[in-house]
Amino acid sequence: MDANLKKLLPFALKYKNHIYMNVFFNIFYALFSTLLMVSMIPTLNVLFGLTKKVYKEPTYEGIGHIKAYAEEFLNYKITILTEENGLKWALLFVISIIITTAFLKNITNYFASYHVTRLRTGVLRDIRQKLYHKIINLPVSYYSERRKGDVMARMLGDINEVQNSFFQILELVVREPLTILFSIITMFIISPKLTLFVFAFIPISGFIISRVGKNLKAKSVKAQNENGIFISILDETLGGLKVVKGYNAEESFIKKFNDSINRLLNLSNSIGNKNNLASPLSEFLGIVTIAVLLWFGAQLVVEEHALSSATFITYIALAYTILTPAKAISKASYQVKTGLAAAERVFTLMEQENTITDTRESVDKPSFDDKITLENINFRYENENVLKDFSLTIPKGKTVALVGQSGSGKSTIANLLTRFYDVNEGVVRIDNVDVRDIKLQSLRNLMGLVTQDSILFNDTIKGNIALGKPNATDDEIIDALKIANAYEFVKDLPEGIHTNIGDSGNKLSGGQKQRLSIARAVLKNPPIMILDEATSALDTESERLVQVALENMMQNRTSIVIAHRLSTIQKADVIVVMQKGKIVEQGNHDELLSKNGTYSKLVSMQSFES
Ligand SMILES: Nc1ncnc2c1ncn2[C@@H]1O[C@H](COP(=O)(O)OP(=O)(O)OP(=O)(O)O)[C@@H](O)[C@H]1O
Ligand SMILES: [Mg+2]
């Protein structure tokens, strides 16, 4: 069995009752389909006036003679009806048999589909659920190496593909083979000789069909990857619309997009072609089989009188009904191939190993008591070390500021403290406990984070702020907004804290967004605050107010402040000056100024600017 199919199995087994019911109804469906064909025999016989006359009601002699009994009984009924009420009534009788069988066939069809739908939609929901769980738990680093669109394509396109093909598999496994089986059994009962012919043709057709379907899987993997690329372009276009328009980059984006969808077009055409070939091919091969049957069977009828013409016509009809399921199987087998390619992509993501997780030894760390230490840290995102043998101690209750040129590794330190990334060498400790040994949830409970770019969601102001404290009251929210100096604009909004702020908060100004991010951290009220350039988008006036607010908030707290504007960190207990992943100077504002080194150079440069 295919490995991906095996992985799908547990998802399906959760709905095994629906599977059982589907199989149950499909068995009857297949049975009634065959019976519907067989019920043509008496009708044709009545029409041609070929019904064998039976005047004595037959007696039932057990299951072994059921065929003979059924035939005799029908003939008896028809004979009596024809003699007593006329041909019209006999015909009505046989037609009513057809209608009843057709009704039963279709009602079982409905119930079989009913259960398969439950199975499909359920499996779809469960896979999505599990995949989302994975996506949200994978570390930040996973996504910086990948296209977001690719992850989205797996979530949207691939899962759908899986559910469609999965549905096909179920039909493939149960209904169609049973229909074929029942038809073949009946055909065998009618004429073993002719049926052997059919058997000779099945492997030949199967071989031809599988040749055509080759490479389908590889092609569809390529198509799904391309899907990821095109979703990425769409996503980036929407996210960066202002830049795209402002730089007149529409043309180049359109070109990128067109290139991608044209590649997709070619792949889809090639996949579609193969898929489209599946059913005509099997139909044609089927007709060829039937043609041979006609030629050979006609001799049996005409020369050897082995079959009645009504039986022969029914036999041909039965052989023809095998075509529909055979077509379905060959088509499904193609779709299953593309489906499995999609499943592979879904499972690759689902099974992606998470490098930043809790282990069994992870401990709870409910409080922060003493100090944070970074000890001899070497860290790299890719090849080059971004932090080099970096050591720093942050005592509880102190404010430590990180300054330094762009790219010197300031945000990286925030990434390591919050354990978005793990160090390559060295260790980050909180109260002498390695952060890798602390439960992630517990670790992040200790920290409030205001990121360099304000990250807001399409939700109300309240919803955005209450992220770390979902059951906060309106009053608590308002207090947090006041501390962050954000309430002055929030209170003027039409619906106050219940105002929706648009996609990533784009109904707000940059400074407003930043103040909301600060309010979010304020509300969470953690012992350790990490502020990455938190005041950069504020005007001088609100910067001053936020500054005061932050200072209040930082008083009984440990803070790591990353700032470009040196005015905001003059009161910090320790200022750490970084250069290319190393500390070049360390001390408070006055100490560093008197050193007349890098820091004082930075300060004089900034006062020169302003
Ligand atoms: N996800 C990443 N993958 C690869 N390299 C990265 C990644 N993030 C940052 N870097 C690299 O690491 C180095 C340090 O980046 P970092 O973001 O820590 O700088 P920074 O001091 O915060 O700069 P800035 O003041 O501009 O915010 C940079 O050279 C950057 O190119
Ligand atoms: Mg940074």
Confidence of residue 443 (pLDDT cuts 50, 70, 90): very high
C-alpha 502 to ligand 1 mean position (Å) = 29
Taking a C-beta distance cutoff of 8 angstroms, is the pair 230, 256 a contact?
Answer: no
Helix axes 540-554, 474-483, angle to 10 degrees: 120
Confidence of residue 283 (pLDDT cuts 50, 70, 90): confident
pTM over 0.75: yes
Greatest CA separation found in the chain? Answer: 125
Taking a C-beta distance cutoff of 8 angstroms, is the pair 545, 556 a contact?
Answer: no
HSE at residue 38, side-chain half, CA atoms within 13 A, is 20
pLDDT for res 535: 60
Taking a C-beta distance cutoff of 8 angstroms, is the pair 518, 456 a contact?
Answer: no
- Ligand 1 proximity of 82 Cβ (cutoff 6 Å): no
Lowest mean pLDDT among 230-244, 285-299, 462-476: 285-299
Does residue 437 register a pLDDT over 90?
yes
The two structure tokens encoding residue 501: 């702020």
Of all protein residues, whose CA lies closest to atom 28 belonging to ligand 1?
407
Name the nearest CA neighbour of 456 among 518, 394, 404. Answer: 518
Instruction: Provide the residue type at 459 as one letter.
Output: D
Residue 409 CA, closest ligand 1 atom number: 18
C-alpha 188 to ligand 1 mean position (Å) = 75
Q: What is the mean pLDDT of the chain?
A: 86
Does residue 549 register a pLDDT over 70?
no
Secondary structure class of 48 (helix, strand, coil):
helix
Residue 413 CA, closest ligand 1 atom number: 18
- Ligand 1 proximity of 386 Cβ (cutoff 6 Å): yes
Q: Which position has the token pair 């978005």?
A: 420
- Ligand 1 proximity of 406 Cβ (cutoff 6 Å): yes
Taking a C-beta distance cutoff of 8 angstroms, is the pair 484, 518 a contact?
Answer: yes
C-alpha 381 to ligand 1 mean position (Å) = 9
Beta bridge partners of 574: 400
- Ligand 1 proximity of 410 Cβ (cutoff 6 Å): yes
pLDDT for res 171: 66
Of all protein residues, whose CA lies closest to atom 3 belonging to ligand 1?
381
Lowest mean pLDDT among 13-17, 64-68, 245-249, 342-346: 64-68
Confidence of residue 387 (pLDDT cuts 50, 70, 90): very high
Query: pLDDT by residue (tens digit) across 151-181?
Result: 988 998 889 888 888 766 776 677 888 888 8
The secondary element (H helix, E strand) that includes residue 433 is: strand 433-434
C-alpha 407 to ligand 1 mean position (Å) = 5
Angle at 145 between CA 139 and CA 148, to 5 degrees: 85
Q: Which position has the token pair 């067989």?
A: 38
Beta bridge partners of 562: 402, 532
- Ligand 1 proximity of 382 Cβ (cutoff 6 Å): yes
pLDDT for res 258: 94
- Ligand 1 proximity of 411 Cβ (cutoff 6 Å): yes
Query: Which ligand does the CA of 388 lie closest to?
Result: 1
Q: What is the DSSP string of 320-376?
A: HHHHHHHHHHHHHHHHHHHHHHHHHHHHHHHTPPPSS---TT-B------SEEEEEE
Give dist(CA 113, CA 119) in Å, integer: 10
Give dist(CA 379, CA 381) in Å, integer: 7
pLDDT for res 101: 94
C-alpha 423 to ligand 1 mean position (Å) = 15
Of all protein residues, whose CA lies closest to atom 19 belonging to ligand 1?
407
Query: pLDDT by residue (tens digit) across 121-147?
Result: 899 999 999 999 999 999 988 988 788
The two structure tokens encoding residue 435: 């952060």
- Ligand 1 proximity of 409 Cβ (cutoff 6 Å): yes
Of all protein residues, whose CA lies closest to atom 7 belonging to ligand 1?
381
Does residue 332 register a pLDDT over 70?
yes
Q: What is the DSSP string of 114-138?
A: HHHHHHHHHHHHHHHHHHHHHHHHS
Q: Which domains does the chain have, with CATH numbers?
A: 3-350 (1.20.1560.10), 371-609 (3.40.50.300)
C-alpha 171 to ligand 1 mean position (Å) = 53
Give dist(CA 218, CA 271) in Å, integer: 10
C-alpha 513 to ligand 2 mean position (Å) = 18
Give dist(CA 103, CA 89) in Å, integer: 21
The two structure tokens encoding residue 33: 């389909």
Give dist(CA 379, CA 515) in Å, integer: 31
Query: pLDDT by residue (tens digit) across 335-359?
Result: 888 888 888 889 999 999 988 999 8
